[in-house]
Chains A and B, each alone.
Chain A
Amino acid sequence: MTLALTRRNVTALLGGLSAVPLLRGSGQAERYIDVRGGGDFKPVNVVVAPFGGDSGAAMTSIVVNNFKRSVFINPVEGGDMGADSAPNMDAARAANAQYVVTGRSGRGEGRMKTEFRLWDVGSGAQAAGQQYVTDPNNSRRVAHIVSDAIFSKITGEKGFFDTRVAFVDETGPRENRRKRLSIMDQDGANVRHLTRGDDLVVTPRFSPNSQELTYMAFGAEDPRVFLLNIDTGQREVVGNFPGMTFSPRFSPDGQRVVMSLEQSGSANLYSMDLRTRATTRLTDSGAIDTSPSYSPDGSKIVFESDRGGTQQIYVMGAGGGGANRISFGSGRYSTPVWSPKGDYIAFTRQGSGGFAIGVMKPDGSGERILTEGFHNEGPSWAPNGLFVMFFRNGGGGPKLHMTDIFGRGEFPVPTPGFASDPSWSPLLG
């Protein structure tokens, strides 16, 4: 595998990471499991042997914890199998495992060196391997990168562990909730609160380079859409609109923000070019048009509108114009979000069974409900398009959950307290 190391990642996040392949011979080329088939499947059993080295235990724990929420990989804790030579496969066969992971992680000369090898139990050959040298402060990220490398080798899909989640941290009584804009790693580590909770904040959305958030906040003036640079804390209003702006989202190239503007009781979609500050009006229906989301190629926008009487999902060109309704099931459809793979649109559906999270193809066909009850809302995609994160208000307050796109495996996402409005970042690497 190769790591795409942009300057941002090296300087801002990893403090200089170098990656060296550790693969001898020709690794197994084929993926082991087809995760997009949607049918019955057995998770792949993977023995994760304890990593050696002074950081090995922490590394092993993060990798195992990641795989526990991966749906497709079932981690099996194994005994020490060494880090270099081919492990004894008898124990792995006894555990009915298809793969073994070995590795080590430790410090030396102010740097941290981590390596892993993935072994195919059937052939006894090494299937993948990599060595990473980085700043010791980035050990958790290296564990996620290792997890992604193994997930990719086994599924043939990109990983999703080296990612962050932006969300709204909620504290205090329901009638006067304190809401803080927050980010964390996808496994709940490294929580940072980006606002203090003085102003009501909702619906954070990551920029494509993961460095900025766009969100809606209340303040002294009308509620508005803001941009926040996560590292510098610099904040600015998006556009100078004569009314409330809300429901923002970045374009896939990061050059635009699309959002709703409320005026005289109707909400229309606008986009703003972040360089020229020029704004473009995209809809003019007199209805409530909101929750816009671009297709991954940037050519189309999916959004919800009640122009036909109830909330339904529509698709139009990114420049506005004629919109086609694509949702025709029972109930009200809202919060559509286009998968980064382009193959599905996730949504919230309100019907007799409560609030469901589902997916449908961009032409409206193939609708599938992933979870239903009171009250699920606000899906966000993993960067590989295999998982959806959402919030569920199950009494007391909302919490984050994730599921695969066939609803075969659902897991709570750990947060410090009540949490809503998740936004899953792209892969940081």
Chain B
Amino acid sequence: MNNFASMHGLKFAAALAAALALGACSKNPTDLDGLNGSGAGGAGGLGGAGGAGSARPGSTQDFVVNVGDRIFFDSDSSEVNGAGQTTLDKQANWLNQYGSYAFTIEGHADERGTREYNFALGARRAEATKNYLISRGVSASRIKTISYGKERPVAVCDDISCWSQNRRAVTVLKPGS
């Protein structure tokens, strides 16, 4: 099911994004290898080559590195907060400029909730993100949503610094679209 090559590309890109946005989970540098916003059954990888410095405008790297592919939520909340709005405004501008991309919004929850509820909570977060982008002029027809609940954490320590990174919605561009 998983395309190994594209998963690899995704991991790389997602790791970069998390590192830039947050300094990642600094307790454990090896976590960077595992940072993976999509996971099994995910919407596919972010193609392209090159590091942050060589992100071509309009490329998936450009989106991840220069715009920011993810927003974060308060505990047990699906409300897009101020920081999230800032990021989504940038996402909307970029997505409106590069209108050929279709994309999936992945909703995630931290581990402090039961499995079933967290699938629904992740879905709410993806939906809230989608609705915000639509309100900024992005066409609904380009947007798919999926929830991974608490199944795909990016940060795996057992304290608040990690939980807050896991409560997220990630905008994953469809490669080649």
- Are A and B physically bound partners? yes
Task: Tell me the A residues contacting B by CB distance below 8 Å.
Answer: 173-179, 198-200, 202-203, 216, 218-220, 222-223, 244, 246-247, 260, 262, 264-267, 288, 290-291, 304, 306, 311, 334-335, 348, 350, 374-375, 377-378, 393, 395, 420-421
Asked if residues A176 and B40 are in contact (CB atoms below 8 Å), the reply is yes
- The answer to whether A334 and B116 touch (CB under 8 A), given A198-B1, A199-B40, A223-B147, is yes
Asked if residues B31 and A247 are in contact (CB atoms below 8 Å), the reply is no
Most buried by A among B111, B114, B124, B148: B114
Residues of A within 8 Å of B45, CB to CB, are none
Residues of A within 8 Å of B148, CB to CB, are 200, 218
Task: Report the stretch among B47-55, B58-66, B92-100, B152-160 that lies at the interface.
Answer: B152-160
B2 within 8 A of A: yes
16 CB < 8 A contacts A-B? A175-B31, A175-B34, A175-B152, A202-B151, A216-B119, A219-B1, A246-B116, A260-B116, A260-B120, A265-B123, A266-B124, A288-B124, A335-B116, A378-B114, A378-B115, A393-B111
Asked if residues B152 and A176 are in contact (CB atoms below 8 Å), the reply is yes
Q: How far apart are A266's CB and chain B's nearest CB, in angstroms?
A: 8
Task: Tell me the B residues contacting A by CB distance below 8 Å.
Answer: 1-2, 31, 34-36, 39-41, 78, 111-117, 119-121, 123-124, 127-128, 146-148, 151-156, 158
Asked if residues A244 and B147 are in contact (CB atoms below 8 Å), the reply is yes
Bound-state Cα–Cα, A260 to B124, Å: 14
Asked if residues A267 and B127 are in contact (CB atoms below 8 Å), the reply is no
Bound-state Cα–Cα, A171 to B119, Å: 21
Bound-state Cα–Cα, A375 to B119, Å: 18
Residues of A within 8 Å of B151, CB to CB, are 177, 179, 200, 202
Residues of A within 8 Å of B111, CB to CB, are 375, 393
Q: How far apart are B141's CB and chain A's nearest CB, in angstroms?
A: 16
Asked if residues A175 and B41 are in contact (CB atoms below 8 Å), the reply is no
Q: Which 9 A-B pairs have the closest CB atoms?
A: A218-B41, A265-B127, A288-B120, A267-B120, A247-B116, A175-B34, A334-B114, A174-B156, A265-B124
Looking at chain B's contact residues, is the secondary structure mostly helix, strand, loop, or mixed? Answer: loop
Asked if residues A199 and B123 are in contact (CB atoms below 8 Å), the reply is no
Asked if residues B116 and A220 are in contact (CB atoms below 8 Å), the reply is no
Most buried by B among A177, A178, A223: A223
Contact of A291 among B116, B154, B156 (CB under 8 A): B116
Bound-state Cα–Cα, A395 to B159, Å: 12
Bound-state Cα–Cα, A218 to B112, Å: 21
Q: A173-B156, A244-B119, A421-B115 are in contact. List 8 more A-B contacts (CB 8 A).
A: A175-B156, A177-B151, A223-B41, A246-B120, A267-B123, A291-B116, A377-B115, A395-B158
Residues of A within 8 Å of B155, CB to CB, are 175
Q: How far apart are A398's CB and chain B's nearest CB, in angstroms?
A: 10
Residues of B within 8 Å of A219, CB to CB, are 1, 41
Q: How far apart are A286's CB and chain B's nearest CB, in angstroms?
A: 11
Asked if residues B123 and A350 are in contact (CB atoms below 8 Å), the reply is no
Residues of B within 8 Å of A177, CB to CB, are 151
Residues of A within 8 Å of B123, CB to CB, are 244, 262, 265, 267
Bound-state Cα–Cα, A247 to B154, Å: 24
Most buried by A among B113, B128, B153: B113
Residues of A within 8 Å of B124, CB to CB, are 265-266, 288
Bound-state Cα–Cα, A222 to B43, Å: 10
- The answer to whether A223 and B146 touch (CB under 8 A), given A244-B123, A290-B116, A291-B116, is yes
Asked if residues A200 and B39 are in contact (CB atoms below 8 Å), the reply is yes
Bound-state Cα–Cα, A36 to B78, Å: 43
Contact of A200 among B40, B112, B121, B127 (CB under 8 A): B40
Q: How far apart are A213's CB and chain B's nearest CB, in angstroms?
A: 16
Bound-state Cα–Cα, A397 to B115, Å: 14
Closest chain B residue to A200, Cβ basis: B40
Closest chain B residue to A335, Cβ basis: B114
Closest chain B residue to A265, Cβ basis: B127
Contact of B78 among A244, A260, A265 (CB under 8 A): A265
